[in-house]
Amino acid sequence: MPAEDDLEEIPGQAEWCVHGEITRWVDDEPQPGIVETRLTDRFGRDWLFISKFYDVAENDLSPGSSYPRPGHLRCIVLSQRRDETGREIVEIDTDDHPRGQESVDGASRFEVFADQLHASHDWQRMYNVRLTALK
């Protein structure tokens, strides 16, 4: 089991989620419905994803749900480092796993701040890990 405070052992081995914002309901088809989710990278650029709502939301959604609302995109961690100010930067890939997806622009690799990540619920239950500061 990876050490709780050692992110170095985790890249490529675990599935993480990056925080996003579900901005709107797109369509009822395909069932159960699709939504638009926005991911903001460390540079402040917004990336849009279109996906089934259950892939990005904790609860059931519908056209009448309140938007925007918190969401997440599954990803894997490729690498991590600190920027010139000491802030933790993580390179992620949102498409390199079974439920992966690209942005509407075809991008799947992004640099985000480490505090934008949390372990996926499946990974948390299996290994009870959390993303912590680099040493």
Q: What is the pLDDT of residue 121?
A: 61
More confident residue, 11 or 1: 11
Write the DSSP string, the chain: ---TT-GGG-TTTS-EEEEEEEEEEEES-STT-EEEEEEE-TTS-EEEEEEEGGGT-SS---TTS-SSEEEEEEEEEEEEEE-TTS-EEEEEESSSSTT----TTS--EEEEEGGGEEE-HHHHHHH--------
Average pLDDT, integer, range 55-72: 94
Domain boundaries, the chain: 7-127
Res 28 pLDDT > 80: yes
pLDDT band at 69 (very low <50, low <70, confident <90, very high): very high
Res 123 pLDDT > 50: no
